[in-house]
Amino acid sequence: MSSDASSVTGTPPATSPVSPGTPTSPGSLDLPRCRHRSQGHVRDRSPSPMRGYLIPSPLPTRRTRTCSATARAAEGPAFTGVCKCFSRSKGHGFITPSDGGSDIFVHISDIEGEYVPVEGDEVTYKLCSIPPKHEKVQAVEVTITHLASGTKHETWSGTVLSS
């Protein structure tokens, strides 16, 4: 009679006081090998879509900005500058202030109007501090005032326009 037959009949198979399959410590566990590793090659796991996004971004977007920060930005003065660069796929860019100084970060959610900014566009903007230390600023309420001549401009819907 095999052990399979004994489990069907309800009689337990004869075992020793400590079963040979019972681990005595976590290190003695004999884990099954992965199928792809036993074939002699190592396959990379596909990355998790959440990898790299576990820590929330410290940059306040229009969605996550508090009402008080929005009110402070709206009450502040408007500045002018020129778009240094903007990447629609990355969702951000930089503005060079017309009065000089260091470049100012701009998030895609803070662009007003129907056109995607390109290098050379003249813009107006207001400033909002970036938490947690509020030492840096970013441009908000960014509006293109003059499209750069000789460049192709794209609307947010994807239509390309030559100027």
Strand partners, 128: 138
3-state secondary structure of 108: helix
Beta-carbon-side half-sphere exposure of residue 87 (alpha carbons within 13 Å): 5
Give the residues across from 83 on adjacent strands.
Answer: 95
Q: Give me the pLDDT at residue 37, please.
A: 45
Q: What is the pLDDT of residue 57?
A: 54
Encoded tokens for 144? 């293109």
Fold of 67-162: OB fold (Dihydrolipoamide Acetyltransferase, E2P) (2.40.50)
Rounded-to-integer distance, Cα 148 and Cα 153, Å:
9
Q: What pLDDT score was predicted for residue 86?
A: 95
pLDDT value of position 133: 81
Which are the contacts of 12, defined by CB distance < 8 A and separation ≥ 6?
6
Q: What is the pLDDT of residue 38?
A: 46
pLDDT in tens, 19-41: 455 555 555 545 555 444 444 54
Supply the pLDDT for residue 162. Answer: 76
Q: Where are the domains of the chain?
A: 67-162
Spans in the chain with pLDDT lower than 50 = 5-7, 16, 19, 29, 34-39, 41-42
Contacts of residue 120, defined as CB under 8 A and 6 or more positions apart, other chains included, come to 82, 83, 148, 151
Confidence (pLDDT) at 102 = 94
Encoding tokens for residue 43? 């396959």
